[in-house]
Amino acid sequence: MITQPYITNYLSEHYADDAYRELSGYEARGGFEGLRKAVQMEPADLVELVKSSGLRGRGGAGFSTGLKWSFMPSGNDRPKLFVCNADESEPGSFKDRLIMERGPHQMLEGILIGAWAVGASKTYIYIRGEYKVPTRRVEQAVKELYERGYLGQKILGKKGFDHDIVVHSGAGAYICGEETGLLESLEGKKGQPRKKPPFPAQYGAFGLPTTVNNVETFAHVPFIVARGLDWFLAIGTEKSPGTTLFGVSGQVERPGLFELPLGTPLGEIIDHAGGVRGGRALKGVIPGGMSMPILLPEDLDVRMAEEFLSERGTHLGTGGIMVMDETTCMVRVAAVTSYFFRDESCGQCTQCREGTGWIHKICERVEAGRGSPADLELLDDLPGLMEGQTICAFADAAAWPIQGLLRHFRADFEAHIAAQRCPFPESFEL
Amino acid sequence: MPTLTIDGTEYEVAEGRMILQAIDDLGLLMSGVDIPHYCWHPKLSIDGSCRMCQVEVEGMPKLQIACNTLVTDGMVVRTDVERVKKAQRGVMELLLINHPLDCPICDQAGECTLQDYAFDYGMPGARTEEPRRPAKKAMDLGPTIVFDQERCILCRRCVRFCREIPKTGELGVFARGDHSLLELFPGTELDNPYSMNVADICPVGALTTKDFRFKIRVWFLDDVESICNQCSNGCNIYASRSNNRIYRYLPRRNDSVNDTWICDHGRLSYQLIMENRLTEPRVSRRGTSYADAVRAAGDAVRAARESGGSIVGVASPFVGNEDLFVLKQLLEAVGAPAATFAVPRGESDELLVKTEKAPNASGARALGFEESDASPGAVAVALVLGHTLAEECLKGVETLILLDTENCSLAERADIVLPARSFAEKEGSFTNHAKRVQRFRPILEPTFEALSEGEILQRIGAAAGLTGWTASYDVHEVSKRLSETVAGFDGINLDSLDDQGCELA
C-alpha cells in the first residue's frame, strides 16, 4: 500500500493503484496506446519524433534520447540490442525502483516503442541485484507481455517486429550503472567501463550495436507517442521538457518521490517534501545524486533543469535531492562521500583508483581532528588531477562533490583543522 | 597517408592507427617522440587505463589518451604544453602514493619505467603521509616468477599477456579501487611456457624472474644483440653480460620473428653455453697444442688426397652460415661430396617454438648441404662439425676430425679433436626457418683456446696445402664471399645485415 501523498502527473498518476502494475490494469488506463500508434509509423519518423520531443535521458547525463537512438546503425546485417539500465545506484536516487514496482509496463512499452524505432531485436534489462521486488515485478510484467503477444514474434501482428526481453540481475557494484561497465557485467565479466571509442552503438553488448537507456527514460516514451509532441513540450522547460521523479531525501519532514515538471524551483520541491525537518535552517542541498556538487540555501530559487543548474556549477544528475540542515558537518559529508567513491572505483584508471583513496584518507583525517592546512591544499588540488582524465565519468563524480563542498563550506574544514576535532554534534555515523 | 603533427613536427603515418601506434611504427616512440605510457604495449590489446599518455589534440576540449585516439589526417597533437605536463605529474604522483620507496633493494632499479618517468615527468617531492596499500611481498607465482604485490602499479600488461599471447589467462586484477590487487586465479600457477615474458613487460619491479633476481644490478650489464639458438625460429635476443658472463637473455623486438617475446626454455638457454665444454685439443686421444691438432688434421686431409682416400664432411645446424661456407669451400677444394647434416627435432607450438631444435638448419640447406642421418660408410677422413650424427654412423671413419663445443662421447672416440667457439663467442649469422638471415655478435671472450669452426677449417685447409688457402681468417671476408657465390644470399652479409635480419631471395 502506498501511503505517501504523491504529487501526481502522467508517470505516477496511477502508481497508487495496484491494478496498474498488471497488464490489464495498465491497458485499462491507456497503456499500450503509444505502442499501437508507434507501429503505424515509419521507424525513422519515430526516432525523429523522440528527437523533436527533446526528451533527455533520465539516468544522469541528460543526453537527448532521440539523438542516441539515431546513432544506431541502419540496416539489419547485425542484430541490434537495447539495454535498459535499471542498476539505479547513485546515492540519493530511488525513482527507477518506484517505476519498476508500480508501473513496470510503462518502461516495457517504452522499450518496445524504441525497439520498433531502431530495429532492436532484444532488450536486456539490467536490474541492480538488491532490487528484489522490482526484479520480481518486471519479470512478472515481461511474462504477461509474452502471454499477450506483446513480446515474441510479429508483435501487434506486425511482420518483422520481433522482440525478446531478458531480465538480468546485477551483482552489486555502483560502476555497473555506467553504461559500458554495465555491458561488461552483462557479458559476465568484471564490471569495468570500456574505453571509448568504440561506442556502444557500434560495439555494445556482445559486440553488437547497442543503445542503453535508463528506466525512467523509457517510461516517458509511451506518453510522448500517445499524447503527442505539443502535449509533451508544454510540460517542463524549453530545453528540458517533461516531468521527472524528484527524489527528496535527507533532513526533510517527508522524504519521498515527487513527480514535477523539470524546471520546478528547488525550494518548491523541498516544500513538497514538507521542508527542512524540525524547523531547522537549511545548510546545503545536493541536487542530483551524491556525485553532483552541492548548492547553498540561496540557491533554492534555481529551477531544476540542467540548463539552469549548470549555471550554478552543478547538474541535474538523477534528480535525487539530498537536503542537509544546519547541524550537518560538511567534512563528515566529504568523508562519507569520498569513502563511497573510494570503495566503488573500479580501479582501472590511475587517477580514479589512487585519487579516490587519497581524498578519502585526507577527509577522514580532517574529520578526526588530525588535519593540517596542507590537507586543505591537497583537497583543492587532487580533484583537478582526476576530473576529465579517465575512461568514464566516475572520477568526475568523485571529484565534483569534494570541489563543491570546499567551495561552499571551506569554513567547516578550517574549523576542524584549527580545533583539531569535529566541532559538530555527531549528526550521522561515519 | 595521413599526416600527424606532434609539437610542430609533421609525420606521415599509416592509415587507421592510434597516435601511439603510429609513432611506434615510425620507430620514434620514446626516442624522438616522447609520449610516456605504462599500460600500452605494442603487442598487446589497448587498455587505456594508466592515463599516462594523455596529449592535447587540437579541436578536442579534453586531453586524449594517445594509445586510443585514432589519427586523422592533419591531426595536430601537443605534448609540450603545461596542461599535458600537469596531467603527467598527476599520474606520476598518484601512482607513487601506493608504491614503496624501495628502489635501493629493487631489482628493477635502473631499468624501471616508474623510476625513469618519476625523474622525467614527476615532481621532486611527495605530498603524501599515508601508509602504502598493504600488499604481499615475494609471492611465488610459479616455477619462474616472483611477484612483489606492493610494487604493482596495476597496468595489467601481464594480465593481457597471459590472456592474449600464450592464451592461458592465469592472472587477474581482483577487488576494486585502491584495494585492487593483481593475483593468480585460484587454483592456477603461472607456469605457461612463456611465463617469464611478464617480467620483461612489467614496467616496475613487481614481476621478476627467479632466474635473474638479486644476481646483479642492471647498470653493470651491457646488452649484446644476438639470436637464440634453441630452435629454428631464431628469436632475437639481447644477452646481458658483465665480466665475461651472461646474466640473462631478454627478447629483442623483431616483428617478423618473435615480436617482443621469447619462450622460457630459450630464455634460460644461456645457462647451457658454458656447460660441459670441450676445452682441450687432442690428437689420438691425448692432449696437445691447438697448433699441433690443426697440423695433424691438415696432414690427415693431405694424406687422404695423396692416397686417393675419400674425404667426407658432416655439417652442423648449430654453426653459423660462415662456418658452413668454409666447410663447403674446403670440401669443394678436396673434391669431396657436399656435406650432410642431421637436425634434432622436438615439440613445437603455435607461437614461437619450432620443431627443428637448431638455429641454422635452413642455412645448411641454403648452402646446398643435404639433411641426412645416414652413415657415410668407410671413409679415410671425416671432418665432423658437432655431434648431431649418431656415433655409430661414424664407425667406418679412419680419421675422425671433430670440431665441437661440447665434451661429448664422440670427442672420446675422435682421432683429432679441436675445441670450437660457441655462437656466444664468435660472430656470424644464422638462417631461421623462414629463411631470414640474422646476425649474432660475440658476447663472451673464450676462457680457453678455441676458434670458430670456420677459422679452424680455414687453418686445416692451409695446413693441408690446398691451393690458395692461407691460415688468415676474417669472418666478414668469408661472409662477403658467401653472399657473392651462394644463390639467394645476394647482398646479404654481415656488413649489410641490420638488427632485424633479412630474408633470403
pLDDT the model gives residue A6: 47
CATH 3.40.50.11540 in chain A: give the residue spans: 18-233
Give the distance from residue B259's alpha carbon to the nearest chain A alpha carbon, in angstroms: 25
Cis peptide before A197 (omega within 30 of 0): yes
Task: Let me know if residue B256 belongs to a domain.
Answer: no
Give the distance from residue A370's alpha carbon to the nearest chain B alpha carbon, in angstroms: 12
Which chain A residue's Cα is nearest to B64? Answer: A389
Q: Look at residue A428 and tell me whether its pLDDT is greater than 90.
A: no
Among residues A126, A89, A204, A175, which one has the least CA distance to residue A347? A175
Domain that holds residue B425: 282-503
CATH 3.30.930.10 fits A330-419, yes or no: no
pLDDT the model gives residue A76: 81
Contact partners, residue A302, CB within 8 Å, separation at least 6: A265, A266, A287, A295, A308, A309, A312
Task: Let me know if residue B162 belongs to a domain.
Answer: no
Q: For B46, which of A195, A345, A385 is closest by C-beta distance?
A: A195
The dihedrals phi and psi of B428, each to the nearest 5 degrees, come to 170, -160
pLDDT the model gives residue A429: 59
Give the distance from residue A219's alpha carbon to the nearest chain B alpha carbon, in angstroms: 33
CATH 3.10.20.600 in chain A: give the residue spans: 243-325
Which chain A residue's Cα is nearest to B172? Answer: A190
* Spatial contact of B202 and B157, defined as CB atoms under 8 Å apart: yes
* Spatial contact of B13 and B97, defined as CB atoms under 8 Å apart: no
Q: Which residue, B80, B114, B149, sits at the end of a domain?
A: B80
Mutation for testing the B interface, residue in A176, A199, A351 having most B CBs under 10 Å: A351
CATH 1.20.1440.230 in chain A: give the residue spans: 330-419
Which chain A residue's Cα is nearest to B174? Answer: A190
Mutation for testing the B interface, residue in A176, A342, A348, A378 having most B CBs under 10 Å: A348
Residues of A in contact with B68 (CB under 8 A): 195, 197
Task: Please give the tally of structural domains in chain B.
Answer: 2
The CATH superfamily of A18-233 is NADH-ubiquinone oxidoreductase 51kDa subunit (3.40.50.11540)
pLDDT in tens, chain B (505 residues): 899 999 999 999 999 999 999 999 999 999 999 999 999 999 999 999 999 999 999 999 999 999 999 999 999 999 999 999 999 999 999 999 999 999 999 999 999 999 999 999 999 888 988 888 889 999 999 999 999 999 999 999 999 999 999 999 999 999 999 999 999 999 999 999 999 999 999 999 999 999 999 999 999 999 999 999 999 999 999 999 999 999 999 999 999 999 999 999 999 999 999 999 999 999 999 999 999 999 999 999 999 999 999 999 999 999 999 999 999 999 999 999 999 999 999 999 999 999 999 999 999 999 999 999 999 999 999 999 999 999 999 999 999 999 999 999 999 999 999 999 999 999 999 999 999 999 999 999 999 999 999 999 999 999 999 999 999 999 999 999 999 999 999 999 999 999 999 999 8
Instruction: Using alpha carbons, list the distances in angstroms from residue B153 to A190, A345, B39, B132, B344.
Output: 19, 16, 9, 12, 43
The residues facing A247 across adjacent strands are A257, A320
Task: Let me know if residue B425 belongs to a domain.
Answer: yes
Task: Let me know if residue B482 belongs to a domain.
Answer: yes
Contact partners, residue B186, CB within 8 Å, separation at least 6: none
Which chain A residue's Cα is nearest to B154? Answer: A348
Quickly tell me which residue has 638488427 as its cell.
Answer: B499
For chain A, percent of residues with pLDDT exceeding 90: 94
pLDDT digits (tens, 9 = 90+) for A159-218: 999 999 999 999 879 999 999 999 999 999 999 999 999 999 999 999 999 999 999 999
Q: Which residue, B45, B80, B115, sits at the end of a domain?
A: B80
The set of cell numbers assigned to B41 is: 604495449
Task: Let me know if residue B225 belongs to a domain.
Answer: no
ipTM, two decimals, is: 0.90
Task: Let me know if residue B145 belongs to a domain.
Answer: no
Q: Which residue, B40, B65, B80, sits at the end of a domain?
A: B80
Identify the contact set of chain A against chain B, taking CB-CB distances under 8 A.
Answer: 173, 175, 190, 195, 197, 342-358, 361, 374, 378, 385-386, 388-391
For chain A, percent of residues with pLDDT exceeding 70: 97
Among residues B246, B263, B158, B135, which one has the least CA distance to residue B207? B158
Residues of B in contact with A357 (CB under 8 A): 97-98, 133, 177-178
Instruction: Return the amino acid letter for A258.
Output: F
Task: Let me know if residue B142 belongs to a domain.
Answer: no
| Contact call for B130 and A358, based on CB within 8 A | yes
pLDDT tier at A2 (50, 70, 90 boundaries)? very low
| Contact call for B97 and A354, based on CB within 8 A | yes
| Contact call for A357 and B177, based on CB within 8 A | yes
pLDDT digits (tens, 9 = 90+) for A249-307: 999 999 999 999 999 999 999 999 999 999 999 999 999 999 999 999 999 999 999 99
Q: A243-325 architecture in CATH?
A: Roll (3.10)
Task: Let me know if residue B97 belongs to a domain.
Answer: no
CATH number at residue B70: 3.10.20.740
On average, the pLDDT of chain A sits at: 94
